[in-house]
Structure 1
């Protein structure tokens, strides 16, 4: 009897080693079964109090098949390579393995041999997993330029049967979200390629998660600078008025989004100014020639990393000042019916408003010129011009005196020089005449009356 039993066991073993398959029922649950290195695992069966002559477990690592253990009426026998690590439950036929190593990963088959020699065989995969560790994200560049750079991020980790997930802070990065994104997977790493990098791609930390069936580990946050901009450049005035008081603290401020921060330069009517930085103070404007005049001011923002330069829209304003001292130019004296034109000037920005007074009485004239078509005696008097800057509120005035005289009163006589010349000429002629007379008297004999 013992000989027959041993013979049956050998036959069943040979059948199992040969990979023979008989009509099968559900002997094992679906796999794979995952377990950690150094831990224990039980490969359970679906058998309930089976009647069998032998239950035989074999292992195939993809290269060769090895006998693990056999359970029979004579007891349980464990093959030498698994001695001390393997056991079979005689009731259910389950195989228990301890102190697992990665070499235990493979296909385990169980052969159930009935008393009449019929054999049923089933397989299940065991995956012995190394723990996940050392999850690290690296990049192929230290920085990127928006729209210009293509960036490759690599996530590497230790462990078995790893799956990788990329996270933009907490949101999963899915390659199908954009034509710019692609992911390549390998057994121990994952590569995320970002073409035409945008600032939003790395605005938040990037994480990589590596996992297998047993555990998950997350990388440290990964950040990388993305240089961008300047974006649209704006200029804001501290006072929106087109007229700025010369003694105010007025300034223009230039702003834009840029990484790194943009460098700013200022232009007056397209001419570079000697002022740099985001703020243009009025003091810098007053150093310019013709600073009082209405001018166009623009700001240009430059990013040395992206090599982009963007100009702002122009802001126009000629600094309010004056009026300076007023001056009236015109005739001081005229004759009756002469035309008179008095002109008042006063440097002012914006241009001054003018009013005229005659002998202290306000007139209706509100232009820089006071005109009289034909002068009469009553036009004689004091003409006062007042210049007012409505923005600064400053007033200046100047008075001019006009005298109206009768016709011919202003005819110009001979000048002093001409008069002196005439007198000298007369005296010279007189001298010549006297000399001639004296000479003649000396030459002509005079008859004696006697």
Structure 2
């Protein structure tokens, strides 16, 4: 025993004079040192006396009465000290017991409660740990067979006498009393059984002289239990642990010290288990392979339990302040299955106010004398199964079924949680026991979610959602829109999982959040909707770029926004007063041409975004060039500059009043006189007139009747000249320009003009410049915007504006001769910019996903063209274009859809292309393995696995059903062995499509034949044939004469490769002995069955398990 303090005691020596007169002669000091087990007594005996010694310990040692067995004589006698038990009264739960009772092997003890109940008693129950000793009515209790000859019971005092004590009787003993009225009461004590203590003689080594000599008493190694006040209570360890033979147990202090521990010691009784510093304690050799020690918790695990491990275990710890802490526990080890005979469910759950049923899965077939249902140590019912007595506390709450021995417990409370045990005493005296655990949960209710009250703005706000609820909560699960909510760098759960923080919020966080509180008996879900405000962004305007005069036009503005955005419109910088998403022009006018800007505004985010749209209104009149010149025998093309943008029902081309062609644009009727001379373009409505004649000169008109709106008409004049053109100036019929750019108007047939001419350039009726070619006068509005070339009479117009669209006329007036005139039309477009493609954000999987690609851009857009991988993209049953050709939908996607998509916005002066790449994920499929089917022993082999997959597949390999650990597309065997034979399966896996596909490949390893000459091979073959023939002859002879039994080859116990998986029956017959096995280079035979190969070295199967022998060619 380690002791960290000194004890001061008083020794009183009483001298007994005859006739029995006591005289106190001296008071001495006794010191018991912590570092040794000796007692030093400073005293001298005087005379021959009978003496009485009494040690009165002030602090930690219980009183001990030391009584001499004989008279003591000075310098001659010795003292034999006997340790008697000292009963310490401990107030228990109900009864008062001695805390510890000591007994000797072969002796007896009596457990007597100090305060038995005064009321009538219905049931008493004495137990050793969980083992019943006796139970039933006090007048006639039932005694377990194991204790029938060893116990006596006193019904008046409820005392139990236990005789013929054994070491394994050490442990906890409890008495439960169920009175006729009132609550049941319980008391508990512990018994420690020791081997008997031999006498010890205390003999001084020399004569003692008063005030000079001393006596040293040395303690010999015998187990003496010293009990003190709270010595064993510093460290709290469970009082009693039960386990079975072969199992393990862990002794864990409930309150390990917080201070540093210098020395720790674990003991079994008085036998040391380990001692020393916690980081490196010394372990006794007998325990070295059976224990584990945790330096942090000071816990001790004891494994491979034996019956003799039953007893008392103590822990002593010495901290850095020289304080000693101590704790003690008891272990009871039983034979296996003592408590396993009755099988009860390991765990039962119930809700407060509900009920549960404890039903044994296995009950004995023999008659049962006594049944006991207990809650922990509290008896619920006991007695004969036909009429058991139910304790008053459970009378209205339980029902018992004698046929199944089941117990129903109703009106459950939280405090009903705990261990429930059923113990049976059979008529044969056997005790059977089963145990289960009940967890009672309070039903979950009033679950609510509390979220942010302020408006949440994307990328600015944070959101905290907190859950609350009542009941026993064992699990908290979060969902969003019916899918699990996972943590991320933005989404963080609290440590108890009862709240979630999202920072910053994004629009994808909008949705319904669900929090479910649950336990095994109930659950409840609360819901909360978060709305994340964002935008506006992605503002776009849908509507035509070019419209006819006098028609209705609508421009629609859209934006991604939460809440929905409000809109405002401006036209050429001026507020229109329109505050809806759609701007409508009831009847277009030329003044409606210009820039329209839509501005979207979000009142919550206080953000706004704008988009512009250019609209050109083209007139109904003068849709054709005013004058067209042609030469005899040539051809001309009459092309309207502004064909209607709406659907057309009827077109009509006329020469004067003579109809050339009329009808639907797709199939017009051509007059017979023109059948071989004209061609019509249904898209541009242009008319080509061939083989011109002088009489073709005149007025040509085009009338168009649209499906909706007013009909429109255009007119032009054709002048057909002979071999030489007249004096009119020729310009291109149409000139195109870009806003902010420049154009050059140049006459194509100027020829030679005199020096004395007057020139004029006009924009419609507005003069631009006039005067002589060498020094024309430019009007102020055009001074900085035009340049004139006196040689070619060409006019350059810069810094173009939308209002510059219209007719430009050059007039040349000589001093003498005819006036020359030429005219052209300028149409302006806004340059195309910011063309972009928006595609799907999610992963695309073949035959599962669909893809929408949308184009956006700015400027005057007259044409939209789609390409894929630089080839035109055509519509199909899967590929569908929108009505305005600005988006395309592919459903479902296929792998051939992978590629670069291009969308080109264009007009006559500019174009811009946006690109987007789609990747379609597919596979794996077409998995194949390349490699040999047969290989020689001891060579390198490669198997390669291939699969069609996007993205590339990952691979795994198995051999005969076992994972090889190889995760590459190539499987390498550095040096083949017979164990490498079998079926190799390669599995390809695509992590995106979550699909997999496998393929098998059988490889057979055989002995190579390299190195032997033909003669050697023939010689070996002949030798082997002769030897095998002789061997087979002997087998046949012995078999026919019954000298050896015919083999009976049974099903193999163990097989490798594919055969083992098929579990086929393997038999052998002597008719197959002509199929001689091959031999390898070492002379070992190779036995083969399908894909299985065996050597006659240690792995070759015996006859009773071998597969059929087959000769391998």
- TM-score for the superposition, normalised by structure 2: 0.27
For 1:173, which of 459, 462, 484 is the aligned residue? Answer: 484
Task: Determine helix, strand or coil for the equivalent of 1:196.
Answer: coil
How well do the aligned residues superpose, as a CA RMSD in angstroms?
4.7
Structure 2 contact 569–577 (Cα < 8 Å) conserved: yes
Per the alignment, residue 240 of structure 1 pairs with 545
In 2, distance between residues paired with 1:93 and 1:342? 122
Q: Deviations over 1:388-435 (max 9, x none)?
A: 9799xxxxxxxxxxxxxxxxxxxxxxxxxxxxxxxxxxxxxxxxxxxx
Per the alignment, residue 224 of structure 1 pairs with 530
Per the alignment, residue 31 of structure 1 pairs with 346
In 2, distance between residues paired with 1:14 and 1:295? 104
Per the alignment, residue 610 of structure 2 pairs with 311
Aligned pairs for 1:313-392 within 5 A: 314-317=612-615, 339-342=757-760, 344=762, 346=764, 351-353=805-807, 368-373=809-814, 375-376=815-816
Per the alignment, residue 79 of structure 1 pairs with 391
TM-aligned CA distance change 1:201 to 1:17, over 3 Å:
farther
For 2:575, which of 273, 288, 294 is the aligned residue? Answer: 273
Gaps of 5+ in 2: 1-137, 144-152, 161-172, 177-185, 189-239, 243-333, 622-753, 767-802, 828-1113
In 1, distance between residues paired with 2:384 and 2:616? 109
Q: Deviations over 1:19-43 (max 9, x none)?
A: 6744422424233212333333322
In 2, distance between residues paired with 1:199 and 1:91? 64
Structure 2 contact 349–440 (Cα < 8 Å) conserved: yes
TM-aligned CA distance change 1:28 to 1:151, over 3 Å:
farther
TM-aligned CA distance change 1:195 to 1:109, over 3 Å:
farther
Structure 2 contact 809–824 (Cα < 8 Å) conserved: no
In 2, distance between residues paired with 1:369 and 1:127? 104
In 2, distance between residues paired with 1:95 and 1:337? 130
Per the alignment, residue 411 of structure 2 pairs with 99
Q: Deviations over 1:62-121 (max 9, x none)?
A: xxx533222358952333322332355556543332332333222223344567987665
Structure 2 contact 456–505 (Cα < 8 Å) conserved: yes
Gaps of 5+ in 1: 324-335, 354-366, 392-450
In 1, distance between residues paired with 2:443 and 2:451? 25
TM-aligned CA distance change 1:253 to 1:389, over 3 Å:
farther
Which structure features the higher share of helix residues? 1
In 2, distance between residues paired with 1:113 and 1:185? 50
Structure 1 contact 265–272 (Cα < 8 Å) conserved: no
Q: Deviations over 1:178-206 (max 9, x none)?
A: 544444585xx843443433334334x44
Structure 1 contact 145–227 (Cα < 8 Å) conserved: yes
Task: Determine helix, strand or coil for the equivalent of 1:126.
Answer: strand
Per the alignment, residue 453 of structure 2 pairs with 141
Structure 1 contact 69–86 (Cα < 8 Å) conserved: no
TM-aligned CA distance change 1:99 to 1:180, over 3 Å:
same
For 1:262, which of 565, 590, 599 is the aligned residue? Answer: 565
In 2, distance between residues paired with 1:173 and 1:27? 42
Question: Does residue 44 of structure 1 match 2:355?
Answer: no
Q: CA deviation at 1:227?
A: 1.0
Per the alignment, residue 373 of structure 2 pairs with 57
Question: Does residue 213 of structure 1 match 2:213?
Answer: no
TM-aligned CA distance change 1:218 to 1:344, over 3 Å:
closer
Q: Deviations over 1:268-295 (max 9, x none)?
A: 67x5635453344569x99xxxx96985
Which structure features the higher share of strand residues? 2
Q: CA deviation at 1:251?
A: 4.7
Task: Determine helix, strand or coil for the equivalent of 1:81.
Answer: helix
Task: Determine helix, strand or coil for the equivalent of 2:538.
Answer: coil
Task: Determine helix, strand or coil for the equivalent of 2:175.
Answer: helix
In 1, distance between residues paired with 2:616 and 2:385? 112
Structure 2 contact 344–434 (Cα < 8 Å) conserved: no
Task: Determine helix, strand or coil for the equivalent of 2:561.
Answer: coil
Q: Deviations over 1:131-181 (max 9, x none)?
A: 444343332335422333332334444443554444434x332425x5444
In 1, distance between residues paired with 2:373 and 2:540? 79
Task: Determine helix, strand or coil for the equivalent of 1:103.
Answer: helix
In 1, distance between residues paired with 2:440 and 2:805? 92
Per the alignment, residue 196 of structure 1 pairs with 504
Aligned pairs, how many? 343
Structure 2 contact 412–440 (Cα < 8 Å) conserved: yes
Q: CA deviation at 1:127?
A: 2.6
Task: Determine helix, strand or coil for the equivalent of 1:39.
Answer: coil
Structure 2 contact 371–385 (Cα < 8 Å) conserved: no
In 1, distance between residues paired with 2:495 and 2:406? 36
In 2, distance between residues paired with 1:103 and 1:148? 49
TM-aligned CA distance change 1:50 to 1:140, over 3 Å:
farther
In 2, distance between residues paired with 1:83 and 1:227? 62
In 1, distance between residues paired with 2:810 and 2:821? 9
In 2, distance between residues paired with 1:27 and 1:248? 94
TM-aligned CA distance change 1:119 to 1:13, over 3 Å:
farther
Per the alignment, residue 301 of structure 1 pairs with 600
In 2, distance between residues paired with 1:337 and 1:183? 92
Q: CA deviation at 1:232?
A: 0.8
Structure 2 contact 385–402 (Cα < 8 Å) conserved: no
